[in-house]
Amino acid sequence: MNYYNRIHYDPSTGAFTWAVSAPGITVGKPAGTVSVYGYRVIRLARKSIRACRLAWFLSHGSWPEGEIDHINGDRLDDRLENLRVVDRAGNSQNKGSAQANNRSCGLLGVTWNKQHQRWQSKIMANKMRHHVGYFDSPEEAHAAYMAAKARLHIGGRSH
């Protein structure tokens, strides 16, 4: 039996909804739950499947060969344009998060540099830290970080 026809996936929004009703399931309602690891998980045929992997399968007709990376780092953003297949090293490039310390503005790759009195952008790639530059605003620093990420990280895409 094809269990995948029980679910609808919208690649432009990343939303999964039920296409068939069953006990406890209403057609059109959001499918899945959020796991303790922050991924949406959908149960089909007594198996829990990460929504990102299911999105890839439903869009491409085959299961991904490697890991699915959420390009923008948001594990719940399952839009097809935000998903890519990578190896373990490529997937780890998005694991960083903005540090919650007194030098951080909350944007990835951006910290306050006390010595220069400006926002600084840095990025890790190929086991090396790359200095991107100093900027007047955290938004400028983050934009430069994202441009560097597009150049230096696997897949060459940014969000």
On the CB side of 34, how many CA atoms lie within 13 Å of its CA? 7
The second-level CATH assignment, the architecture, of 97-152 is Up-down Bundle (1.20)
pLDDT profile of the chain (159 residues), mean per 10: 86 96 91 93 93 96 92 89 82 55 70 93 84 94 88 60
pLDDT at position 133, please?
96
In this predicted structure, what is the pLDDT of residue 102? 45
Q: Is the pTM of this model over 0.85?
A: no
Intrachain domains 3-89 and 97-152 with the same fold: no
**May I ask the CATH architecture of the domain 3-89?**
Alpha-Beta Complex (3.90)
Query: Domain map of the chain by residue range?
Result: 3-89, 97-152
148, 132 Cβ separation under 8 angstroms: yes
Q: Are 63 and 72 in contact (CB under 8 A)?
A: no
Specify the residue for token string 């990343």: 14
H helix runs in the chain, sequence order: 51-60, 88-92, 138-152
Residue 55's pLDDT is 97
